[in-house]
Amino acid sequence: MTNTRLLARDEVPTELTWDLTLLYPSDDAMRADLDDTLLLADKLSGFAGHLNGAKELLAALNTHKQIETDLEKEYVYAFLRRDSDTTDATANALFGTAAKAATTIATKESFLEPEILAIDEGALDGYFKQEPGLEEFRYELEQIRLQRGHVLTTSEEKLLSRLNRSLDSADEIYNTLNDADLNFGQVHDDEGNLVQLTHGNRSQFTESLKRPVRKEATLAYAKPYHDLRNTFAQTLNSFVGAQNAVAELRHYQSGRQAALAPHQIDEQVYDTLVKTVNDHLDLAHRWYRIKKDYLGLADFNQADINTPLAGDDVLKTTFAEGKQLTLEALSVLGDEYTAGLKEEFDHRWIDAAENAGKRSGGYQISVYKANPFILLNWTDKLYSTYVLAHESGHAMYSWFSQHHQPAQYADAPIFLAEVASTFNEQILTSYLLEKYQADKKVQLYVLEQAIDGFIGTIYRQTQFAEFEHTAYQTEQAGQALTADFLDQTSSALLKKYYGPDVALLDGTATQSWAYVPHFYMNYYVYQYATSWAASTSLASAVWQHKPGAKEAYLNFLSAGGSAAPLEILKRAGVDATTSQYLEEALAVFERYLDRIEVLLKN
């Protein structure tokens, strides 16, 4: 799928695109359903001021559930249409329509939580006895009741809902700028040809065995972020400021508390992650030192850190091959899991090829009334197979929870969802190490992928978590997040996490904060690190066929968001309230380092 010229959307082979007819046959069909959902929201708003009995409460909750599941299907269709080509005016207009409708509906629903909170505790207990149908909503109601003191009055919630789109506008501006408007120019490939540099093909150049190619690509990728550093700083300042303002309005002490508390995640989980990883920075530094010594580069720098020690693309994988490897690896989870994967692979739930205007990176988004969808930007590197396995982990989590939970519990919180995705990466590594155990070069290559997983997920995401928390605290204290401040904060963290053996490149280190779209997802990144550590333990138990491990993991997937995240994870066998799971994961990382050093010596 590698091209010197990015394909236009209509040039991409159909089999490499997602099938949006699984949602709607046309834009007009989606608009018609959206109109019906808006009418249903009017019906729900009629319950305002009338939640004075068990029957009325159940009717309101059932109507709300229908609205949310219908709107999810409509909104995701427009979202995927837009992300297929962010330069498509028709698709952007459709997404704008869906986003506006979502804001309107949220405003009409805004009375619900304040009025539920106003119900007397004893009266609510009586409602459960009067209406058995309310039992399905017990956990949802408990979650709402936990927010007592943070949900505003009905009129205030209505006003805040109307402002949501404006408050979130920095996210949309950032993604449009990042995906549709940035031009990284052309760079030389290994053969000396000039090729357009993109988000999707960047790794092909930054992982080149030719140092000039790596450096040129690294600097070229950094240039537009540097040129627009003040714009990117303003979008981040605007987003963080909005999140902090809403947190204050809701009577939280900080933006972090506002992000974590609704999911019952103790802030100590965040702080324990940062402290534990900082206590083990020597392992990350050791990895960079291994690379520096093996490559024989006295001036080892940022442009060199992704150089593959095993050689260039020891395991290239086409999209078809990547799907097959993923299926074979995850067969360890049994027939039900592999049946779900086959549905995903055979029915075009995946948009694989990069095209002009397509959103960068990769993600999964699910639709309760249909199926999950995955966005990829395939490059034929083994890394793309890891991304496929990762996003398929999200998809199967959604698939299992959709088949075992009512709609309101089908979406697992991010804290759990990232466990399912990184679990698949761990299983893929174990499978490849076993499959190619007689080939030392492939062993080296796969181990390097695994080590890069620890570096990129535990270390880099914790670095991002430190940066993000600093940004929120700084803005909350009244200081603007200027480009200079963000550059200085980012550079200091890079130096700490890279250690003494990695030199920073001018123009590259300073704007690395602008590369990260997840900073617009409000305390998201730390969960990559906690989840990677948790999944290390769970995947090891399943791969080694420990009694009950597979069943416990499948039950974990089936639970969705039906209980507190820390409780669901604990049932699966991991207690994330302590540092033990982090220590165990980093011990695995250390063993990988020991193993790769032996291979390099041999």
Eight-class DSSP state of 309? T
Q: Which pLDDT belongs to residue 303? A: 94
User: Would you say residue 1 has pLDDT above 50?
Assistant: no
Assigned domain for 43 exists: yes
Active site annotation includes 590: no
Structural domains of the chain, count: 1
Domain contains 154: yes
| Percent of the residues in the chain that have a pLDDT greater than 90, as a whole number | 86
**Which residue in 508, 501, 502, 494 sits closest to 466, CA to CA?**
494
Are 382 and 316 in contact by the 8 Å Cβ rule? The answer is: yes
Is 346 within the bounds of a domain? no
Residue 510 predicted with pLDDT over 80:
no
Q: Give the CATH number, domain containing residue 29.
A: 1.20.140.70
- Kindly give the pairing relationship between strand 373-375 and strand 194-196: unpaired
Extract long-range pairs of 140-147: CB within 8 Å, 24+ residues apart. Answer: 140/61, 140/408, 140/409, 141/116, 143/262, 144/113, 144/116, 144/117, 145/116, 145/117, 146/262, 146/264, 147/113, 147/117, 147/262
* pLDDT band with cut points at 50, 70 and 90 for residue 203: confident
Q: Is 158 inside a domain boundary?
A: yes
Q: What is the mean pLDDT of residues 545-573?
A: 96
Three-class DSSP category at 195: strand
Q: Higher pLDDT residue, 153 or 313? A: 153
pLDDT tens digits along 224-249 = 999 999 999 999 999 999 999 999 99
Task: Look at residue 339 and tell me if it is in a domain.
Answer: no
* Residues 302/291, Cβ–Cβ less than 8 Å: no
- The pLDDT value recorded for residue 163 is 84
Q: How confident is the model at residue 4 (pLDDT cuts 50, 70, 90)?
A: low
* Contacts (Cβ under 8 Å, ≥6 apart) of 484: none
- Examine residue 104 and state whether it is found in any structural domain, yes or no: yes
**119-146 burial: b if 16+ Cβ within 10 Å, else e:** beeeebeebbeebeebeebeebbebbee
Active-site option among 140, 157, 354, 391:
391
Domain with 144 in it: 20-167
Q: Which of 78-92, 162-176, 490-504, 528-542 has the lowest mean pLDDT?
A: 162-176
The predicted-structure confidence for 293-331, as pLDDT tens digits, reads as follows 999 999 999 999 999 898 877 888 999 999 999 999 999
Q: How confident is the model at residue 257 (pLDDT cuts 50, 70, 90)?
A: very high
Contact predicate 341/327, CB 8 Å: yes
What is residue 542's predicted lDDT score, i.e. its pLDDT? 96
Per the structure block, which two tokens stand in for 96? 């704008």
Residues 81-127 pLDDT 10s:
999 999 999 999 999 999 999 999 999 999 999 999 999 989 999 99
When pLDDT is cut at 50, 70 and 90, the band that residue 508 belongs to is low
pLDDT band of residue 507 (cuts 50, 70, 90) is: low
Write out pLDDT tens, residues 33-87.
Answer: 999 999 999 999 999 999 989 999 999 999 999 999 999 999 999 999 999 999 9
**Residue 166 contacts residue 184 (beta carbons within 8 Å):** no
User: Quick one: pLDDT at residue 298?
Assistant: 95
Q: Chain-wide mean pLDDT for the chain?
A: 94
Cα–Cα distance, 422 to 318 (Å, whole number): 21
Is the predicted pLDDT of residue 3 greater than 60, yes or no? no
Residue 35 lies in a domain: yes
325 falls within a domain: no
